[in-house]
Amino acid sequence: MDVRFLGHAAFALSDGDTTVLIDPFLTGNPGAAASADEVDATTILLTHGHSDHLGDAVPIAKRTGAPVVAIVELANEIAEEGVQVFDPNLGGTVKFDWGWVKLVPAWHTSTTPGGTVSTPAGLLISFAGKIVYHLGDTALFSDLQLVARRGDPIDVALMCIGGHYTMDRWDAVTAADLVSARTVIPCHYDTFPPIETDAEAFKSDVESSTSSEVVILAPGETHTE
């Protein structure tokens, strides 16, 4: 499985011809590694409706035909655009030929640019025989550890560290300890001035206090599991 960082909180998981695209905020993202009209998507997954996550999901879904998975209120808004959606709520799992995605809690807020209010989520994903946990936008909270304990261990955690809108890099060290992923890839930092942080310091703090390895990806870079 290839994990390609597209900038901010956007990732593409790919295995052969299958691509799971997460939070594709590309247009208006100063660190975007691709444009909305060039990314592939078999399925699009959204953590929540803020513009830096919903991003280009609708135009990419229309171009590629990929369905969008989002919490029910957000999915309903997207469906009005003529896009195929799956609309689980927290705790729900949606299965695909490529694996499954489960919506898990995240402590944050969520209103779309169109005004739809919903509950934000994290995404627990089974893809290509690996478990990937995109924490979404969240503060530190103790139930992060429940997600890691529910079944197979987490192979890759995609973790916000930028502070201001989410947990900062110090709280994220504790989050990394709770999640206990084999690999942690930081995101949601350095895109804008309020979320600038020191990812190398995060890496060294996590690796000195947990058994996780931190892989820092520049936008456009790929980690292979």
Residue 190 near Mn ion by CB under 5 A: no
Number of amino acids touching Ni ion (CB under 5 A): 2
SS3 4: strand
Which residue, 136 or 219, has its beta carbon nearer to Ni ion?
A: 136
Instruction: Give the pairing type, strands 213-214 and 183-187.
Output: parallel
Which residue, 31 or 99, has its beta carbon nearer to Ni ion?
A: 31
The C-alpha R_g of the chain, in whole angstroms, comes to 16
Residue 205 near Mn ion by CB under 5 A: no
In whole angstroms, how close is the CB of 67 to Mn ion at the nearest point? 22
Which residue, 50 or 169, has its beta carbon nearer to Ni ion?
A: 50
**Span from 44-52, 95-103, 149-157, 183-191 in contact with Ni ion (CB under 5 A):** 44-52
How many CA atoms, within 13 angstroms, populate the side-chain half-sphere of residue 161?
27
Partners of 117 in the beta sheet? Answer: 111
Residues 6+ apart with CB under 8 A from 149: none
Residue 23 near Ni ion by CB under 5 A: no
Residues 18-77 that bind Mn ion (CB under 5 A): 52
Residue 137 near Ni ion by CB under 5 A: yes
Q: How far apart (Å, rounded) are the C-alpha atoms in residues 185 and 187?
A: 7
Which residue, 77 or 137, has its beta carbon nearer to Mn ion?
A: 137
In whole angstroms, how close is the CB of 8 to Mn ion at the nearest point? 7
Number of amino acids touching Mn ion (CB under 5 A): 2
Q: How far apart (Å, rounded) are the C-alpha atoms in residues 174 and 71?
A: 27
In whole angstroms, how close is the CB of 50 to Ni ion at the nearest point? 4
SS3 146: helix
In whole angstroms, how close is the CB of 13 to Mn ion at the nearest point? 19
Which residue, 131 or 157, has its beta carbon nearer to Ni ion?
A: 157
Q: Which DSSP letter does residue 111 get?
A: B
**Span from 14-22, 135-143, 176-184, 195-203 in contact with Ni ion (CB under 5 A):** 135-143
Residue 137 near Mn ion by CB under 5 A: yes
Of 11, 20, 39, 50, which one interacts with Ni ion (CB under 5 A)?
50
Q: How far apart (Å, rounded) are the C-alpha atoms in residues 192 and 2?
A: 26
Helices (H), the chain: 51-54, 57-64, 72-79, 144-149, 169-179, 199-209
Of 218, 168, 215, the closest CA to residue 194 belongs to 168
Binding site for Mn ion (CB under 5 A): 52, 137
Q: Footprint of Ni ion on this chain (CB under 5 A)?
A: 50, 137
